[in-house]
Amino acid sequence: ASADSALGTRIRELSRAHVFTSWSAQQEIDPVPIAGGKGAWFWDHDGRRFLDLTSQLVNVNLGYQHPRLTAAVQEAAGRITTVAPSFAEQSRAEAAAAVAGLAPEGLDKVFFTNGGAEANENAVRMARLHTGRSKVLASYRSYHGATAGAIALTGEPRRWGSEPSVPGVVHFWGPYLYRSEFWATTPEEESERALTHLRHTLAAEGPQHVAAIILEPVVGSNGILVPPPGYLEGVRALCDEHGILLILDEVMSGFGRTGAWFAAEHWGVRPDLISFAKGVNSGYVPLGGVVISAEVAATFDHTPYPGGLTYSGHALATASAVAAIGIMQDEGTIEHAAALGEQTLGPQLRALAERHEVVGDVRGLGVFWALELVADRTTREPLPADRMKAVQQACVARGVWPLVMGNRVHVVPPCVITHEEAAQAVALLDEALAEAGR
Ligand code: PLP
């Protein structure tokens, strides 16, 4: 598409006047109008092209404008655009079968929602009704969505603006070796001590009152925290000991992000409920859902489930999920994402830590990486906001768009980025750190 700066200016003005934007002080933002995208690139109306390290909100796993995916939405729109949940419909039925087919043995049913927050709302509702218990344990370093229940589950500061919130949620500390709450010095120690802390939290809350523990298997927005050896397995064992359900929030970590369909596969952990969204259809149409174990589903075999949505299993959304999963299978997207992490992103991002004092920690897997930037490697004091902004601007000036979260640069490109493009992006990040990171 050719650049049209006048259109860009008009979009900017209309947006500033009328669009109320998520998580923002409305007068302090000036969003770049996006005109289009292809693969791992997007561009604005002035014709500036950016190599995308964000996948938007870590959801465009198949990249922009995948022809088979856009065609599937168009084809579905030509058949029927929307059918109430009380009817059966082809795309919904096929999408549920496809998603359930990717989940561990025994998780066979799918409740569709419009996104991740609603998925978590319903996973928790199911867990409470199934167990007859009220409390839910969630991690402080988590983001689970912004509806009333999901923001109560969320542990990070974005929750504060919604408090006092829905009761019944208790937060605990998960593992994070670089800033350990447990004075641990090895991954094994961090894992063991985080499990002891969780065991103590459960004892103090009364495990017989706890319906579920909800976790992001790899923590996303709060730092790309890959669990240390034994941690997820240990949480599963604690749940089993006390009849507590394990809900894994795979909204960000699912569908290729970690080089697996679901991140929990890396540790062989089988949850009772999986919430998903984002990568399930690369966000081409809003979609999320919960994959439900046979045991939990059976609770609602003859008792109606007290929850629903007009768009549960929307025809265009589920058609895009069927297509997205088919594309990932046919194109080897999951294997490619794993190889990107092992061969290109992992080694090359780690090399940045050798060249730049400011890089305190590098962690991740697949296409799910974070660089943690520090003002001082010994004290690990986070790089201040103005210097993070300088790094971000130095990236943007070079045509690479990073995802800056606090003192971290998240490197989370579409799974379809090529090895060459990924290497190019890291090289540009290298230059940006050399210019602005010191
Ligand atoms: N859970 C996780 C792990 C997420 O990363 C997000 C969004 O970033 C959500 C839930 C909320 O999803 P949504 O914004 O689609 O409601």
Q: Give the Å distance between the CA of 142 and the centre of ligand 1.
A: 10
Of 71, 31, 1, 37, the C-alpha closest to 413 is 37
Q: What is the DSSP letter of 225?
A: B
Contact 195, 203 (CB under 8 A): no
Q: Give the Å distance between the CA of 124 and the centre of ligand 1.
A: 15
- Atom 13 in ligand 1: residue holding the nearest Cα: 116
Q: Which pLDDT does position 253 carry in this prediction?
A: 98
Ligand 1 contact, 116 CB (< 6 A): yes
Q: Which tokens go with 354?
A: 């050798």
Q: Which pLDDT does position 376 carry in this prediction?
A: 97
pTM: 0.98
Ligand 1 contact, 98 CB (< 6 A): no
**Cα–Cα separations (whole angstroms), residue 178 to 12, 129, 248:** 40, 38, 23
β-bridge pairing 408-411 and 368-376 = antiparallel
CA dihedral 326, 330, 333, 338 (to 10 degrees): 120
ipTM confidence score: 0.99
Instruction: Report how far residue 328's alpha carbon sits from residue 325's, in angstroms, rounded to the nearest whole number.
Output: 5
Q: What are phi and psi of 377, to 5 degrees?
A: -65, -30
Q: Which pLDDT does position 1 carry in this prediction?
A: 53
Ligand 1 contact, 414 CB (< 6 A): no
- Atom 10 in ligand 1: residue holding the nearest Cα: 144
| Ordered structural domains, the chain, with CATH | 5-65+332-436 (3.90.1150.10), 68-331 (3.40.640.10)
Q: Which tokens go with 419?
A: 């090895």
Q: Give the Å distance between the CA of 122 and the centre of ligand 1.
A: 13
Half-sphere exposure for 320 (CA within 13 Å, toward CB): 28
Q: Give the Å distance between the CA of 116 and the centre of ligand 1.
A: 5
Instruction: Report how far residue 212's alpha carbon sits from residue 295's, in angstroms, rounded to the nearest whole number.
Output: 14
Ligand 1 contact, 144 CB (< 6 A): yes
Q: Which tokens go with 112?
A: 């569709």
pLDDT (tens digit, 0 to 9) for every residue of the chain, 438 residues total?
Answer: 568 999 999 999 999 999 999 999 999 999 999 999 999 999 999 999 999 999 999 999 999 999 999 999 999 999 999 999 999 999 999 999 999 999 999 999 999 999 999 999 999 999 999 999 999 999 999 999 999 999 999 999 999 999 999 999 999 999 999 999 999 999 999 999 999 999 999 999 999 999 999 999 999 999 999 999 999 999 999 999 999 999 999 999 999 999 999 999 999 999 999 999 999 999 999 999 999 999 999 999 999 999 999 999 999 999 999 999 999 999 999 999 999 999 999 999 999 999 999 999 999 999 999 999 999 999 999 999 999 999 999 999 999 999 999 999 999 999 999 999 999 999 999 999 999 987
Contact 402, 411 (CB under 8 A): yes
Residue 377 one-letter amino acid: R
Give the number of residues written for the chain: 438
Best substitution site from 142, 251, 258, 280 to test ligand 1's pocket, by max atoms within 8 Å of Cβ?
251
Ligand 1 contact, 413 CB (< 6 A): no
Q: Collapsing DSSP states into helix, strand and coil, what is residue 138? A: strand
The string over 63-81, giving b where at least 16 C-beta atoms fall within 10 Å of a residue's C-beta and e elsewhere, is bbebeebeebbeebeeeee
**Cα–Cα separations (whole angstroms), residue 248 to 171, 270, 273, 432:** 15, 9, 6, 36
Calculate helix-pair angle for 315-331, 90-102, nearest 10 degrees. Answer: 40
Contact 180, 166 (CB under 8 A): no
Q: Which helix (H) or strand (E) holds 170?
A: strand 169-172
The string over 299-319, giving b where at least 16 C-beta atoms fall within 10 Å of a residue's C-beta and e elsewhere, is bbeeeeeeeeeebbbbbbbbb
Of 416, 252, 421, the C-alpha closest to 344 is 421
DSSP readout, 355-396? H-TTEEEEEEETTEEEEEEEEETTTTEEPPHHHHHHHHHHHH
